[in-house]
Structure 1
Amino acid sequence: MSVAIKKKKTQGRLQKSDNRLISLEAFKKQYLEKTRYKYEWKDGKVEKDEFMKVGERYIIDNIITKFNTLSVYQQGNRIMAEADCYFSELKAYRRPDAAYFTKQQVRHPEEAPDAPALVIEVVSPSNTDLQNKLKMQEYLDAGVQMVWFIYPNVEQVWSHTSPTDVKVYQQDDKCDASSVVKGFQISAKEVFKR
């Protein structure tokens, strides 16, 4: 399978029209691998981080699927993947792997609080412990009430409500976010189910 890429300048805008053909494999390597990074912003500095890995999508899908059975979903609240969050007080722009938003935050963000109540991050091997701690502290300082760090390699969910209040869930333990998302509990086993 080949794809034609075209580029030409038309009225000050670039249009695609190069007429060279490339294979699907070359397209993936040249264009899609470049998008494995998400860019975040903190106090004037751009920070480069990796998107959630393709092989980890099932984790967020399991969480969203479970959430969608709740009455808060029927009320218009959502858990959204890779949703943009601007924390004005911290001068930080983040894109967590998933976050919980009320209907008001989804439909009228200009009138709603900046911070989602729950933020979920799937931890990659490239993330350092220090990076995770700094990000967790930043989320909490921004008004996020609960932060989940999900560790696929050891199948654990770490739930933080403060820097020192952490619960670690695994196997049949119920990951409990009901204090910030009414009725939301999911077992660690369900989080990691393929």
Structure 2
Amino acid sequence: MSEPAQTAMTLDDLYRLPDNELLYELVNGWLVSEPPPGVRHGRVAGRIVAILDACVRQHGAGVVVTCDTGFVLHRSPDTVRAPDVAFIRMDRYLAMEDDADAMPGPPDLAVEVLSPGNRPQEIHAKVADYLAAGTTLVWVVDPQTEQVRSYRSLFEPQIHAGTDLLTAEDLLPEFSVPVADIFSI
């Protein structure tokens, strides 16, 4: 007896899932789940939210959101990614419904904070998805090495560490922070 064909999940299917401890994303119609990433990850992501949000709010540049916000990067099959931290320009945010299940389109800035369980090909795929969908800038933050890889292109990341200044030039000209500040306690 043959098994029934599996059909790709949609954005609507994703948001009908029951709440539990896992974080979900939808990649080309397939459900991907991750366990909660841990304390160091949460501390670093929280620090990035605080630093980024202070600048964004001071200049009215847009909105900073956390991994609770999904971004529809592709439809049919649906890809919905939820970066650890994201920035959306104000004009784009105001053009959408505040109570929508997910943000239509990519974030302007996506931040992925690595956790010990992340595999390099998994992070590479996320960066590729964001950039292909139109994200301007992706930061991949490594709490273990205390480095940030900054992507505007998939093949030419810039590596920042220590006293190097992390910026988001064309998105947030006012934003600049020493990389070490992201990892400080």
TM-score (structure 1 length as normaliser): 0.73
Q: Which amino acid aligns with 2:31?
A: V
The 5 Å alignment of 1:151-162 reads 151-162=142-153
The one of the two structures with greater contact order (alpha-carbon pairs below 8 A, sep at least 6) is: 2
Distance (Å, rounded) in 1 between the aligned partners of 2:156 and 2:123: 15
Could you list the runs of 5+ residues in structure 1 that have no partner in the other structure?
1-31
Distance (Å, rounded) in 1 between the aligned partners of 2:61 and 2:139: 22
Asked if the contact 2:73/2:104 (under 8 Å) is kept, the reply is no
Distance (Å, rounded) in 1 between the aligned partners of 2:110 and 2:28: 20
Mark the structure with the bigger radius of gyration: 1
The residue aligned with 2:121 is 130
Q: In angstroms, what is the RMSD of aligned CA positions?
A: 2.5
Distance (Å, rounded) in 2 between the aligned partners of 1:106 and 1:51: 27
Distance (Å, rounded) in 2 between the aligned partners of 1:52 and 1:99: 17
The 5 Å alignment of 1:88-167 reads 88-89=74-75, 91-109=78-96, 114-167=105-158
Distance (Å, rounded) in 2 between the aligned partners of 1:189 and 1:159: 15
Distance (Å, rounded) in 1 between the aligned partners of 2:71 and 2:35: 16
Query: After superposition, what is the alpha-carbon deviation per residue over 1:122-144, rounded to whole angstroms, capped at 9, x for unaligned?
Result: 11111111111111111100111
The residue aligned with 1:27 is none
Q: Which amino acid aligns with 2:182?
A: V
Change over 3 Å in CA distance of 1:118–1:126 after alignment to 2: same
Distance (Å, rounded) in 2 between the aligned partners of 1:134 and 1:125: 17
TM-score (structure 2 length as normaliser): 0.76
Could you list the runs of 5+ residues in structure 2 that have no partner in the other structure?
1-18, 98-102
The residue aligned with 2:31 is 46
Q: Is 1:81–2:66 an aligned residue pair?
A: yes
Shift of 1:94: 1.0
Asked if the contact 1:117/1:181 (under 8 Å) is kept, the reply is no
Q: Secondary structure, in 3 states, of the residue corresponding to 1:164? A: coil
Identical-pair percentage = 22
Asked if the contact 1:99/1:118 (under 8 Å) is kept, the reply is yes
